[in-house]
Every structure is written in C-alpha cells, then in structure tokens.
Structure 1
Amino acid sequence: MSSVPPLVVAMILGAALLHATWNALLKSGLDRLWSITLMCAVAAVASGIAVFFVPLPAAAAWGCAVFSAILQIGYCLFLVRAYDKGELGQVYPIARGSAPLLVALGGAVFAHEQLSVPAIAGLALLSGGIITLGRGRDRLDRATARDAVVAGAFIAAYMVTDGIGVRLAGNAFSYVAWMTLLQGAPMPLVYLAIRRRLPPLRLEPETLKALGGGVLGLAAYAVVVWAMSLAPLAKVSGLRETSILFAAVLGALFLGERFTLRKAACALAITAGALLLAF
C-alpha cells in the first residue's frame, strides 16, 4: 500500500493540532454540553453557507452523510460525559487511541483495504502508546473510562462511514458541508431534550471559546475527510491521532495537567507509530 503523500501528511498533522485545540477549549468550558452544542451550531451555520458554493454530493453518498451525522451526535454526548469527570490528558488518549485499530478493522471489512506488516506494526504502536498515555496511578474511574471508549467507538464508526461517503460523493468539501449541517443543526434540539430548555446565548468569554472551537473543529475535520478521499482510512486515522501529542502539551500548559516521563515515552511511541503507518 502506497505511502500517504507528504502534503496530505502535513495537512493531517495541522488538522490534529486544530482538533486538540478545540478539545482543550471544550474541556476548559464551564458547561460542556452547552459549549459543544454551540460549537456544533456554529459549524452548521458555516456549512449552511458553504452548501451554496459547492455542488451537491452524489446520491450514493447521502446515506453515509446522514448516518455519520447521527454517529457524531452520539460521539459529542459521550465525549462531554467523559470530560465532566476526566482530564483532557486522560480522556483524549483513551477516546482517540481506541479509534485507529477500529478504523483499520472497519476499513478492511467495509472498504476492502489491506495494511502492510509495517503499517500494522505502526498502528499497534500508535494505539498502544495513546491508550497507555491514558493510564497510570491517576487513571479514570470505570464509568468515565467507559464513556471515553464509547466515544472512541463512535469516532471509528463515523470515520469509516465518512471515508466511504466522501469517495462516493464526488466532492470532499460538499460532503463535509452537508454532513456537518445535518449533524450540527439538530444539536440545539438534543440540548433541549436533555436540559428541557433551549441553549441560552450569552455575551461572555465562554461564548467566544465555543465559537472559536466550532470553527476549529469544522476546519480540522474538513481536512481529515478530504485526506480520506485521497489516502487509506487507517493511515489517515492513525496520523490524525497524533493530536494526542498536542493535547498533552495543551493540557499541561493551559489546564494545569501534569506531563510526566511516562507521558513523554508514550509520545515517542505515538510518533514512531505514526511514521511507520504513514511511510
């Protein structure tokens, strides 16, 4: 299987930084359900504007777009539940680390992709390093770890779905725009169902953080979906999960989380695994 083109690798790594940043903004929020609802709504508004400037996806891709939107709503809810009790440096590694192996399996079963032996070794090293990073003496309680793993399963499911959908759509950015619109538009109603009221709009720093997170999240995933139209799903997923390096640094710098020698060793394993996977 061919290597991922260098430009695509660079774009995915940039998207990984953006993804870690919006997760840090979400974790730092005072009301994370409200924050992620506003983030999704902002992304939906931006996508609603974008759909007027891109062609419609091919008919075959619409089922994937709808299914992915549903999966991503589930991912958002379980991610919020996990962040309510766990640190960024704990939840993020478990959620992101469980996804690449599942994406590889999904890509093999549903997209008929086969990984070389070095790529499989890289995927195992990457996932093992990420998962180990989320363990230790200060490990999560069982319920929070379960929520993080469920979020990871949603990640794997929607990435495989989007990887197939974007290849059917004919245009990566039209697929992203419509899928994001379908995912973000119902989020205020999801909030209403949970809180029994619509999400309030407030002029305060929390609102600005959520608005920024929504823009960053949309940009990050648009790049990832574009990359999946050009490269194998498992390789894109593996490279994307190097965002854990950025999350560990952001957690230490801005959220007061510890960055230990164990975390540094895991970071090296993640980097080595990503290089094997990509090249």
Structure 2
Amino acid sequence: MLVLSSAFFHALWNALLKRHEDPESAVVGVITVTVACGGLWALGLQGAAFPTSAALLWGVMAGVLESGYLVMLAKALSRAPLGLAYTVSRGGAVLLVWPVSVLWLDERLTLGSVAGAALVAVGMAGMNLVRPRGREKEGVLWALASAVCIAGYNLSYKRALGEGAQPPALFTLSLGVALPLLILMCRQKEPGWGALRRKAMARPLLLVTAGVLCTLSFSLLLLALTNSGTGAVLTLRNTSIVFALALGALQNERMERRQLAGAGLVTMGAVLLGWPRV
C-alpha cells in the first residue's frame, strides 16, 4: 500500500507539472516547497540522522541524481505527452535497476523477474516502433536520460538506508542538495533571477499542491525502501504508469493503440517484477 500510494501521488504531481506553462522553471518551485515539507518532517527526528559517513555520502549522491532526474523530466514533459514521457522514464529505470540490484544488492533473480523485465523491454520497444519526430523525439531522449537518474537515486537511497540513514533526514538532505543544482541548471536557460522567479511562481497554488504531493510520494517511497528490495519497490511503484495514462487522458492527450499496448506491457512487467516472492 505504501508503494501504490507513492505511485499515485508521483503520477499526480507529474501531471500537475505538465499543466504548467514552463515545466522546466516550475520544477524549481515544486522542489522548494518539497524541501520545506521535508524540513517539517525531520523536526521530530531522534537519534543520529546519518550514523556513518557512507550514509551521508549516499544521501548526497541521491540528491545529485535527483537534480538530474528533475531537470530531465521537466524537459521531457515540455516536449512529449505525459503518458509517453512517463512510461519511457519509469520503464527504462526498471531495466537499469534490476541487474544492479541482483549483482550488487543480492536481490533474488527468478523466472518471474526475468519475464517481467522482458515485458517491460518489449512494451518500451512497442511504444517507439515508429521513431518520434521533432520535439517528441527530443522528449523521449530526455525521458531515457531521466531513467538513468531514477535508477541511480533509488539505488543511492537504498544504500543510504542500509547504512542507517533515517528517512526524514535522507529525504531532506537529498532534495536540499538537488535544489541549488536545479537552480543553476535552470539559470543556464534563463539568465537572471527575475525571469526564473516569475516563471517558477506563475501559478503558485499549482506549485504548492505539486510540492506537497511530491513530498508524499518520496516519503512513502523511502518508508517502503527501508524494509524492501530496491528492484521490487521501484518496479511495483511503476504501476504509476497507469495513473499517468489516465491523467494524461483527462488532459486530452491521445496515444495510439500501439503506444497504449506498450504501456500496458510495461505496467504488467512492473507488477510481475514487484510481485512478492515466496
């Protein structure tokens, strides 16, 4: 339930970001709200937040990868439909995380997990049998780059938690590291603070709502990761693809039957990968 709730909130805040006129600037405002919420979550923290230097370093690494993910996600959403960009980024992360989880974090490799990975791969290939053109092609490429960062920050979170990091502190640190990096990346596109601030704050209610939903999504993810494998959590969380497709339809996005079938295969593969093993 933690993972599925996280998946719903994740798709919802992505859908809200897509509705902003400039997602690349808006993501700065969203993460500012999220860092503030994370600080409030960490107020009741007891004991060592990061008991080892390794826990702290993995938390910083997660923040660096979070910033890359958020920038690339915003670029993907500004160029491609929500359903397509979301499915490619989340599905790609699945294919990257599972080999690393098996080889490095000792997660079990079973016939079901192999079949799930195959479904994800076939589904992603099916969605892109016809090469996207123009801005949509750029959006898919940014979504693939985002997938690399998604896989990386999930693995970093798992390593930090394994070293004893407490979820509220880890959440606040990683996004606290990500925020200034996000601002620097966005300023390369929009020199000067005034233009960035105006664009980021163009729709304050949307940004605050998206920031709160983002906080819920990531905090539930970390709580689930504390006692579960990275591959299983990430893949089950990718059932958010279904939520993203539904939300995209509500925003009058239309996907071809081939793309819908591919997204369905990605979702089934994610569920199969994340299904509890006995």
Same-fold status (TM-score > 0.5) = yes
Amino acid in structure 2 at the alignment position of 1:182: V
For 2:126 and 2:84, the matched residues in 1 are separated by 7
Could you list the per-position Cα deviations for residues 126-159 of structure 1 after superposition, in whole angstroms to 9, with x for gaps in the alignment? Answer: 4533x24643558354433221111111111111
Gaps in structure 1 of 5+ consecutive residues: 1-9
Query: TM-score normalised to the size of structure 2?
Result: 0.86
1:208 is aligned to 205
2:261 is aligned to 265
Amino acid in structure 2 at the alignment position of 1:12: V
Contact kept, 8 Å, 2:116 with 2:269, in 1: the verdict is yes
Question: Aligned in 2, Cα 1:49/1:275: closer, same or farther, shift over 3 Å?
Answer: closer
For 1:271 and 1:203, the matched residues in 2 are separated by 32
For 1:191 and 1:264, the matched residues in 2 are separated by 32
Matching of residue 11 in structure 1 with residue 2 in structure 2: yes
Query: TM-score normalised to the size of structure 1?
Result: 0.86
Matching of residue 89 in structure 1 with residue 86 in structure 2: no
Task: Select the residue among 29, 38, 41 that pairs with 2:20.
Answer: 29
2:241 is aligned to 244
Deviates more, 1:83-92 or 1:62-71: 83-92
Could you list the per-position Cα deviations for residues 223-257 of structure 1 after superposition, in whole angstroms to 9, with x for gaps in the alignment? Answer: 11221221111111111111111111110112x11
Offset at 1:204?
7.4
Contact kept, 8 Å, 1:19 with 1:220, in 2: the verdict is yes
Number of equivalent positions: 268
Secondary structure, counterpart of 1:30 in structure 2? coil
Question: Aligned in 2, Cα 1:119/1:251: closer, same or farther, shift over 3 Å?
Answer: same
Task: Select the residue among 207, 222, 227 that pairs with 2:224.
Answer: 227
Percent identical residues = 26
Amino acid in structure 1 at the alignment position of 2:58: C
2:172 is aligned to 177
1:65 is aligned to 59
For 2:113 and 2:13, the matched residues in 1 are separated by 29
Gaps in structure 2 of 5+ consecutive residues: none
Secondary structure, counterpart of 1:61 in structure 2? helix
Offset at 1:106?
1.9
Matching of residue 139 in structure 1 with residue 132 in structure 2: yes
Secondary structure, counterpart of 1:169 in structure 2? coil
Contact kept, 8 Å, 2:94 with 2:231, in 1: the verdict is yes
Task: Select the residue among 144, 147, 168 that pairs with 1:152.
Answer: 147
For 1:33 and 1:222, the matched residues in 2 are separated by 23
Contact kept, 8 Å, 1:99 with 1:153, in 2: the verdict is yes
Contact kept, 8 Å, 1:66 with 1:179, in 2: the verdict is yes
Matches within 5 A, 1:65-144: 65-129=59-123, 131-132=124-125, 134-135=127-128, 137=130, 139-141=132-134, 142-144=137-139
For 1:155 and 1:111, the matched residues in 2 are separated by 17
1:253 is aligned to 250
For 1:83 and 1:74, the matched residues in 2 are separated by 14
Matching of residue 45 in structure 1 with residue 41 in structure 2: no
